[in-house]
A and B are shown apart, each in its own frame.
Chain A
Amino acid sequence: MRTRVIITVSGTLAIVLGATILSHAVSAQTSSPAQTSSPDGVAKPPVYDPYPPGILPSDLNSELARVVREVDFIEGRALAQWKALTPPVLTGQPPTLQGTGTAAIEALGELMNYDRNISPFRDIACASCHMPYVAFSGPIPSVNLTMVAYPGTVHFRAGKRTAQRYPYAPFFPVLQYNQVQGAFFGGNFWDSRATGYLLRNPDGEQAQHPPVDTQEMGNPDTACIAFKLQKASYRSLIEEIWGRGTLDIDFPAVTEKICALPGGAFGTNNTPVPLGPEERTRANQVYDHWAQALDAYEQSVQVSAFSSKFDAFLEGAYTLTAQEKAGYDLFRGKANCNSCHLDGRSTAPTPPPPEGTAPNSQDTGAAAATEPLFTCFGSANLGVPLNPRDAFYYQNKPDFFGFTANPYGFGYRDLGLGTFLRSGFGAAPSPNATWTQFAPVSDGQMQTSSARNVAMAPKQCPTTEAPGPYFQKEFFHNGYIKSLKQLVHFYNTRDVYKFNVTSGHCPPGKTEKVDCWPMPEVENNLDKTVGNLQLTDQEEDQIVVFLQTLTDGFTRPYSNSDTFTGACMQGGSAKTQGNEFLIPTPPLPPCTSAVCGVPPLPTMPIP
């Protein structure tokens, strides 16, 4: 599939269409009052705003500008570090970049990660949705509080899920269906759609999606990334690593114009850049190098640092406080978090039945039996309610380029892994048809993220929890949960405070997320390991304290965590954090057949 065949007729049509749209875009910009420009003065199309009032946060533009400044600052720092690096020496058989080869490819990945020139309007880098001071999750508190998904290069198209953290994503294996477990393990993304089937590296394949995701960096063609890397300030580093000639692709003159337009501007044509088969192959190879370099950065000690209090504890260099220890015992005992978020220790300190699973204080765990990555690489449906604030639901009208992200509006349901296995709407094509049969038993499942760094926040506002000063994060795939206290309370009481309502409609006298949990977005395959853990309020707090020991940067500084220049939030309670932004879920139309009507059908109908 790497050698894509260009069909001459459709390719020509695409160029004509692209050129037409381009001239349309330019002429429209001269008359539209809504036009904006990127930080470099790049002309931009009119703002796409299909949103009802209140969905987009009021400080969105200033916050996006802040993140651009921070991204540029880190890019500048990375350039200086690269230039200070002793060049590696290519030697040996097989040839190896001896000495600083590892540092070189990690530096390249970092330079790519913070390079916003890769996006058509030069306003979005990978890092724009993944900043280091929050462990490479979403960097804008108001977005985390409201629209959930981050704006892409076209303002304001947006995706549909929260930005997953980078750290430890490189450690996920290639997606496999485990016959014994009857379940999938591995891959990257919430729906595991970056399988690693070709590069044998799910994290690398993950890095190939956002640059051409219509609602993210938004390039119309993967070849555009190779085209832009030809002009990158770090081009010589690419050639140093992969050899001279790596970037020698003969792009036609029209490429510049095509790659300055977003995906969706060329209809369903995914290869509007007119390249012959050989040039296309070389562009694809460059895109694989893009994947490898970003994976190298994400696996480096700058990102996957293993530098938390918990790592120090494993080495015997830190003694957990009484609260941290109590939280840890609950995490792997009564609360059973480590049935999926594996901590790598061998024995949990729990007495046998009939006393149940209450923790005692004796730690009988030996050294790590599995890697302490705090994930099992699997997926589960935790029954998170539909979040009506998710920007995706509102993008049901065409934008300036005729692109509609979600024609189904609130008829969309996020079936996660199940939709990917069907190659369904909003996912990606599955490379393995033998997996499709497992879609009905995978509906609603989302990847079990590493619990590491879930609590990371900038130094100025060093907690995720109100009253703070705190940094507002968002949790789970649709950002419904706004604090770790709520997250633990959800696992603990989902089935205790269950109400057959949607978000925003809890009965009078009940407080959503405190003593009322709306119904799951997807009931199918609901995981019942959790939902009524019998934890007290104090025990929930102790687990939050333990989660905070998983934050990197304790044994040594976390790279670039000093770059946050925004404002902290203050006041309120972690229990109800963000509740003032709850909105009533509208009456939901049935799940669109584009999602729920694709065979093999869900085991029970999804309303």
Chain B
Amino acid sequence: MEATDLSAPQRVAASSAAERARLRVDVESAARLLAPMWPLESFIAVNPLMGLLELRFEGAVREASRWLPLTGYPSPAFMKAAYGEGRVTDADLAAVLAERHLDADQTLPALRAWLEHPEGAVGPSPGAAGELADRRRALTTYLATDAQLAAFCATFADEGASGWALGDRSGGLYHCWRAVAALDPLLRCRLRRRAARAVAALPADPEDALLEALVRLGVPAEHRVEELRRQLTRLPGWASYARWREEWAGPDCTSPPLGVLDLLAVRMSYEALLFDPTGTAPGSAPVPAEGGGPWAGIWLEAYERHYRDDILGRLSAGRGIQRDAQPEAQIVFCIDARSERLRRCLEALGPYATFGFAGFFGFPVAVAGLGDRYGTARCPVLISPRAIVRERPAPGRARAAVSHLRSRARAAAAHNAWHVAKIAPGAAFPLAEALGWWLWPAAGLRTVWPRLSRHSAPPTVLDPGAAGGLALDERILFAENALVTMGLVRDFSPLVVLCGHRGRTAANPHASALDCGACAGAPGGPSARLAAAALNEPAVRAALVERGIRVPDDTWFVAAEHNTTTDDVTILDWHLVPARHGARLAQLTSDLAEAGRRCAAERGPSLPGAPAVRDARVAVAHVARRAADWAQIRPEWGLARNAAFVVGPRSLTSGIHLEGRVFLHSYEPDLDPDGLVLESILTGPLVVAQWISAQYYFSSVAPEVFGAGDKTLHNPVGGIGVLCGEGRDLRVGLPWQSVAVGNRLYHEPMRLLTIVQAPLGRLDIVIARNTVLGQLVDGQWLHLVAESGDGTGWHTRRAGSWWPWEPAMSCGEVARWNWKA
């Protein structure tokens, strides 16, 4: 293998603008295979195949499995266990086969046989089969290139975690790499004295460099996208992070600008320098792949159908539970599936009405905490913050706030000093020797510190109308949208609580994954506070009256925050609540605490290592201990086992035990004759919920590709992601402990079941005028079930049409299938 001579005449000296423009498009086409990966500070669950949404689900999985080692379906072993437990039955399978016009007599035996002898289980793996043996030397270089590039990416993207930062990174990855590539150990090892000359001859611009490398490697124009995709799938984690940085972070983000094209330019420059241009480099070349094969798809659909029949049966049997009395309080929770338990437990305790709405409560803003210079977005990533709202000291508490900020700055300085000493060359070992024994009191303090810190901050206010915030027109618009969308436009209770949510865990790199997805992976308390402030504003209320929404003068909006790790609820901004509501709020607080205890008792047994005693006090103590335990790898289950998204009035689900598996979005069809509210819900919250569902699905069925691996092996990198052990690439998706216990999945991998109560014609119109909905629904990325509320029952949408829901066959029919088999 000869290294390429960079002075060869075929060099592209200065690419034309047209070639550059085409290259940009080809790079993006190649990168569509990979979803963006949000950094750890704001972990957002995404559909890993969101770039292939224009394909149907099966097609997208098949396409992904051409490039990545995955099947995209639950494994035969998983399905075999589910089949044995009755979680999926012959009746479910027969129903799916009937829908596909397949003969059940012939197909069922083949389906069962697939459980024992699966085919087409795995797509290509990097450097598969005989290619490895034949091209061992080339592969060694290839792997070394991966390792070198991954290490450089980690150095480049570092956000202050390393003690010795790279120099100026504003020019991008390629510029930075080219400046130091002459010292690159891999290039020096392979090219020896020619390394410096070869690097100096590389084009200064990454677009030119990539075009030149493509020419040198002899990649024809018609195969360019495939080659670029092959290159990206060598380090899909870093490529995914680059996609986020380039497309989602915003032009003013201060993170180092790691771009997909830069990544490709560096990688292909390595190849152009190190590989024989006449040969084919080893790697994950695309091969025809079947994904999990047709049988896997049928098993999955039957598995999903079983759950669908179960929940629709429960909804049909349990409907009609509706309170007539005016509730003492109305509590609006986030649609997050973890709210379902708390809502049910609270409603059982007293005259409370609950609602479900996206946890940013309709106010798309960024929030800057007390003393913070920059704001953090508190809205779904599908929309941009309209303004920045700054937290300020409460009236008369400015001195306390200053004192608090000073002590926070001192703590930060001490932390930084400790961090610098810990990573400084030569200081790490003496530090451990000298102070290691004295650190156990600090470790103890760290365990209890989360509780202490919660009470140390002085009272503050979040006024959305303050300078730099939202204009009055915007506050009115967002307030109206929020109330109409959640269906709360009349019969207001004296107290209306807006309850955001967050997780509270210790030493958890993926902590933000437990926070509110509707708040861009941040705690939901600030969103609740500013929405409550806007809805209590006299000018906003006066304008709402003109729009037909009269909020009584004695109604007060209160902000609260649900800690999903412990299930306790904290009332925020107590100091703003008028005294006349004191007794009512105290009673509500007491009931929320009791609901939280019941909630903890209900979900406690599902946590590994939980005490067997089903006692509320024991459960509460246990979940609190888990939250503060910084050795705990599974502080809570998060959204594992999420399964469905219900859009409809609470009367549809009230009193029905949905096991914390269902996203609940309030919707009153009668208030929405033109379907605009329904459209907002289906194009916003539903899309986010589908991302969450797909993230859990693929982290479960393809943990090696779309999962973050074992938490006990995680090494956080630069504050942006994790490596697993000595792994080179960033790990995307959820840790294995978020979806499984040991080798057994806790999450049930299914596509999201969407249940809507709305006229079918209205749904048709909304789907027809929104491409994304057509792709999701008719591409089978989710399942849609609806009822008009006119007594015609549930209908499922299949192939663009509505079909009356029919549960799987009766027991007698099932027995017939079993007997025949």
Bound together: no
